[in-house]
Amino acid sequence: MKKVYLPVVLLVILSVFITACGKTESQSADKNEISGTITFLTNRTDMIGEKYDDYAKRFNEKYPDAHVEFEAVTDLDKTTKIRVGSGEFPDVVLIPTIPNSDLPKYFAPLDDLGLNDRIYFKDYKSFENKVYGISVGATTTGILYNKKAFADAGITTVPQTLDEFYAAADKLKAAGKVALASNFKDQWTLYPWSSEIPTAIAGDADLNNNRLQSDAPYQLDNPYGQSMGIIRNMYEKGYLEPDINSTNWEQSKKDIASGKFAMYVIGNWAIPQVIESGTDSANIGYFPFPYDNSDKHNVTLAPDWAYGVNKNSEHPATAKAFVKWMLEDSGFDDFAGFIPVLKDKKPAVTQLTEFNSFKPKYLEAVSDDPKVTAIVNKAQITKEAFVQEFVLASDPQTIIDKYNAAWANAKKSLGN
Amino acid sequence: MSHISYPLQRKFILISFLLIPLALLALFTYYPAMRLVYLSFTSWDGISPVKEWLGLGNYIEIFTNPDLFGVFLHQIPYVLIGIIQNIVAIVFAVILNSKLRGRNFFRVMLFLPFIMNAVAVAFMFQYVFDTTNGSLNGLLGLVGLESWQQSWLGNASLVNYALASIGFWRFMGYNMVIYLGALQSIPGDMYEAAKIDGASRFQMLWSLTIPNLTPIISLNMFLTLSGALAVFDLPFVLTKGGPAGASETFLFKTIETAFQFNNYGLASAMSVVLLLFTAIILLVQNLVINRKGD
């Protein structure tokens, strides 16, 4: 091994020289002053040179000594994870999927921002009572629909129960439309059926974590089976795309916008994307998913990526001020169609106002139990693939059994 | 410098010129490869500083878990289509090696798919294989073969052949160009001699062309087989391994294991297994072909 290190050492020395040459700014500023230039690593490549230019300018107006630069990557989680792991990463990042117990190793606590009592998901990225990450916004899951498609099919009121929902789907089918765009083939679009909707049915944000107590967490008649049963039923009745194994997510947004497809079961983040695909905001509506025949609706409230501040940042005060500015003043949540993570801020998106008019009960997401994540990874369960197999199988019980067996095996081998 | 002898100077120059490329090679090829082997014996999760030593645990897991090893069955269609691809490539090479009008045009046309970006090709075929709006089903409908219209990527027994046929479309021209080059290196007087002896065209192909092509066929078969073992881009872009896992491949599983399930140790072991398989194929193929040659 010794020989291997030599070239590494040489290269490191070389790169230190090169970076040293590049540094012209002196780094003598006080750490508590809001000044200097910080970098924010983001996943919004589309906002570089557009909205971010405006943010940089406005941030600088508020803090004349401070500048922010933006770096965007498409493969956020992988890239950030590697860079965080190496210890060299920008001042502000979106925290990648690492265990919460590792957060203090890389990130600075954000408790001194004074936001703890005002935000959702305070405990989501925290460890030992310190908050290390604040979500950029919150999303809920519901039904996004094309109002004109509903009107064309003669649906006058938004379905409030599961029976009404099936009836509406039937009318849409009769009108020659795809009632619900599942984007089945694309797989990731099926996530609500295996996590959000079961959680809403159970009325318990801890549903996914409670799997830890069971050797057979999936049953046909429990929330998971009920939820997947709904999409299976939709498939059998022909309410989904004509061939669910040949769907196209990008195309489906245009089809929803044009009214060829009527509904999505999806997060509210999709609203601006559908509107951009060629329709008016007024034509797109959003309502809670009626998973049963009662008139009460639970909906999940889930965090998005969370801002984290590099604990070795040269300008920690500036980085923190930037996080606070993003949450309070930037208007990013409205721009991106999020529910603001600050509880006292109302969403500006009209579709969310419509959604809230149905008085849904929000279930605030809890962070994943690392033990549950470990079992899922060990058993190699892709929750969306589970939905696919459940829908396509001739007997869904066999799929339930298969996943329960994988779950129980993994659980046993990890000693839980 | 003048007091150093000439051979020493020469050595010094050689070493100093080689140092940087060798350092880069070691740093970006051999070091990662050795790390990969080392990681394959651990349970590393991709970020934790602790790497628990598992010994052969990961390898035992690969060979005993049908979910991991069984996906090699999905890659048989790629091998079958790859063999057909080589036969067709030889046929085209022989045809385009004769004096044919516009042969350069045909060569370029057949080679073009190879220079296209793999992911772009996959996206393109998404529209070809689309069930409702796809051009393939459209064509079948147009010529009155509605009964042949299929969910090409949604039928579990068909999906791997559909995907492999994209590989055929893409790599046939590449194989053909290699065969063409080999054909052109066969001396013309051998054909002349054969003609004088009264050999038919087929006899010339079978007893003269093919034996002369053997090393190139072996090279192309190796490229095809190792390509079939390492298929990843097509199912990743087109089917995400679906329907219900029918088009998952070993490399697809490896990437999933590493980047979705954060089990870098197991994924490293899977990469090493794939590497060993490729080496074994090369070895077996060499043995078979060399024995024939002796």
Instruction: Kindly report the backbone phi and psi dihedral angles of residue B198, in degrees, each rounded to the nearest multiple of 5, phi listed first.
Output: 85, 25
CB A224 within 8 A of CB A218: yes
Q: What is the DSSP-derived secondary structure letter of residue B109?
A: H
Helix (H) or strand (E) holding A137: none
Does pLDDT of A8 surpass 60? Answer: no
B57 assigned to some structural domain: yes
SS3 A291: coil
The predicted structure's pLDDT at residue A11: 54
Are B35 and B98 in a shared domain? no
Does pLDDT of A89 surpass 90? Answer: yes
The predicted structure's pLDDT at residue A26: 43
Chain A residues interacting with chain B (CB cutoff of 8 angstroms): 4, 7-8, 10-11, 78, 81, 84-85, 97-98, 102, 185-188, 241-246, 248, 376-378, 380, 382, 385, 388-389, 392-393
Give A81→chain B minimum CA distance, Å.
7
The predicted structure's pLDDT at residue A97: 83
CATH number at residue B96: 1.10.3720.10
The predicted structure's pLDDT at residue A1: 41
Whose CA is closest to A84, among A306, A318, A310? A310
Residues in B touching A378 (Cβ below 8 Å): 261, 263
According to DSSP, the β-strands at A138-146 and A284-287 are antiparallel
Q: Which domain holds residue B11?
A: 6-61
**Confidence grade of residue B28 (pLDDT, cut at 50, 70, 90):** very high
Are B44 and B173 in a shared domain? no
Q: Which of B262, B264, B266, B270 to mutate to test the interface with A (most CBs of A within 10 A)?
A: B262
**Confidence grade of residue A24 (pLDDT, cut at 50, 70, 90):** very low
Does pLDDT of A17 surpass 70? Answer: no
B167 assigned to some structural domain: yes
The predicted structure's pLDDT at residue A6: 53
Question: By percentage, how much of chain B surpasses pLDDT 70?
Answer: 98
| Contact criterion met (CB < 8 Å) for B31 and A389 | no
User: What tokens does B292 get?
Assistant: 């024939």
| Contact criterion met (CB < 8 Å) for B67 and A376 | no
Residues in B touching A241 (Cβ below 8 Å): 132
Give B130→chain A minimum CA distance, Å.
6
User: What tokens does B108 get?
Assistant: 């370029």
What topology is assigned to A139-302+368-413 in CATH?
D-Maltodextrin-Binding Protein; domain 2 (3.40.190)
What topology is assigned to A27-136+304-361 in CATH?
D-Maltodextrin-Binding Protein; domain 2 (3.40.190)
Q: Which of B132, B247, B250, B270 to mutate to test the interface with A (most CBs of A within 10 A)?
A: B132
CB A259 within 8 A of CB A149: yes
Which residue in chain A is spatially nearest to B243 when comparing CA positions? A245
As beta bridge partners, residue A145 has: A263, A285
Whose CA is closest to A304, among A78, A72, A124, A143? A124
pLDDT digits 0-9 by tens, A92-140: 999 998 888 889 999 999 999 888 889 999 888 999 999 999 999 999 9
According to DSSP, the β-strands at A284-287 and A306-309 are unpaired
Equal fold, A27-136+304-361 vs A139-302+368-413 = yes
Could you list the beta-strand ranges (E) of A234-354: 261-267, 284-287, 298-303, 306-309
| Contact criterion met (CB < 8 Å) for B23 and A84 | no
User: What tokens does A340 get?
Assistant: 């603001």
Does pLDDT of B290 surpass 80? Answer: no
B42 Cβ partners below 8 Å, 6+ apart?
A: B51, B52, B53, B54, B265
Return the residue matching tokens 């034509």: A283
Are B91 and B54 in a shared domain? no
In this predicted model, which residue has the larger pLDDT, A30 or A350?
A: A350
**Confidence grade of residue A75 (pLDDT, cut at 50, 70, 90):** confident
What is the average pLDDT across B239-257? 87
Does pLDDT of A25 surpass 50? Answer: no
Average pLDDT, chain A: 88
Which residue in chain B is spatially nearest to A393 when comparing CA positions? B244
Does pLDDT of B279 surpass 60? Answer: yes
Give A63→chain B minimum CA distance, Å.
35
pLDDT digits 0-9 by tens, A215-240: 999 999 999 999 999 999 999 999 99
Are B29 and B115 in a shared domain? no
| Residue that terminates a domain, selected from B61, B78, B106 | B61
Amino acid at site A24: T
Residues in A touching B58 (Cβ below 8 Å): none
Q: Where are the domains of chain A?
A: 27-136+304-361, 139-302+368-413
Which residue in chain B is spatially nearest to A12 when comparing CA positions? B27
Could you list the beta-strand ranges (E) of A191-314: 261-267, 284-287, 298-303, 306-309
Are B226 and B274 in a shared domain? yes
Amino acid at site B273: V
pLDDT digits 0-9 by tens, A135-186: 999 999 999 999 999 999 999 999 999 999 999 999 999 999 999 999 998 8
Are B44 and B97 in a shared domain? no
The predicted structure's pLDDT at residue A13: 53
> Across the A/B interface, how many CB contacts are shorter than 8 Å?
86
B1 assigned to some structural domain: no
**Confidence grade of residue A7 (pLDDT, cut at 50, 70, 90):** low
Residues in A touching B151 (Cβ below 8 Å): 243, 245-246
- The tally of domains found in chain B comes to 2
Residues in A touching B31 (Cβ below 8 Å): 4, 7-8
Does pLDDT of A14 surpass 80? Answer: no
